[in-house]
Structure 1
Amino acid sequence: MKKLIPLLSIFIIIAIVIVIFISMSEQKKMVVIHTGNYDKKPIDIELHHFQDSQCGMTIESKINSVQVVAPDGRTWFFDDMGCMSKWYEHIKFKNEAVIWVYATDTKKYIDGRKAWYTRVANTPMHYGFGAYEKKQDGFIDFNQVILHMIRGENLTNPYIKQKLLGNK
């Protein structure tokens, strides 16, 4: 019986944490997918109210945020281009998707397929792909971002981080 008490205590604590997270989520009424975006324009997101569709994190800044609009008007939200890339790899409407990224240089949503990306930005999930409207030396295009993510070549990989950032 004494061995069951610690195990039971752990299960009770886990259950309490789960109940707290569920109640917080319902109170905030987090938005993961927005429907009815038939114009396929970027949604004016409310910070701390929209949730990343891949990792589940709350979007706390427009910088580095991404929105993907499906042909049927559903819109998904992401706090990091890396999260969007992981999700994007599994969708069936890749060619028809409208992708909006928030550009660091112009502070507005731009076409994600036409954006330029740095590989060393400080992004929420630490993948490193920050979007820009104007190309700079060393920037890569959308297809290269997707390829680097598929290969695991982003700042979450210690080898790549060392290669791109040196001893920082």
Structure 2
Amino acid sequence: MGQDVIEFMPANIAVLTVSDTRTEKNDRSGQFLVNALQNAGHSLVDKKIVIDNIYQIRAIISQWVAEKDIQAILITGGTGFTSRDCTPEAIKPLFDKEVEGFGELFRTLSFQEIGTSTIQSRAVAGFANHTIIFAMPGSTDACSTGWNGIINQQMNARHRPCNFMLHINV
């Protein structure tokens, strides 16, 4: 019996860094995500840095979600508990469906690395207009945990028993 051979399907991905202090020069987390997605065979469509402001974050994500050539969005930063952290509040109203398991699994993996401090992570994911959006904390280690532990597999059509590639616009 032959098995169906599933080919890798590259996705067009945008990266957003949410920070009041990061610039292109010192945005290690955003650059990690760019390198990781490209090393996995995906294409970087756009990359931006935005301050912690609900409406500016929402405007960028809304624009990207409306574009047919963007299938996934990776967000780093703004998921903590400081008074300025507002990424979940900015993006959750845009979700058609939330991927509750992403935050749960992220915190489970993160617990192995940073212990109970992971409880302060509000990592979140969801679909908006058939675009998958993942939001992670702003540290490079957190982006590595999210990408290597979850996102890379879920953005690979060959990953079984299921992945997100069947649910996005490709």
Q: Give yes or no for TM over 0.5.
A: no
Return the structure number with greater relative CO, CA threshold 8 A, min gap 6.
2
- TM (normalized to structure 2)? 0.27
More strand by share: 2
More helix by share: 2
- TM (normalized to structure 1)? 0.27
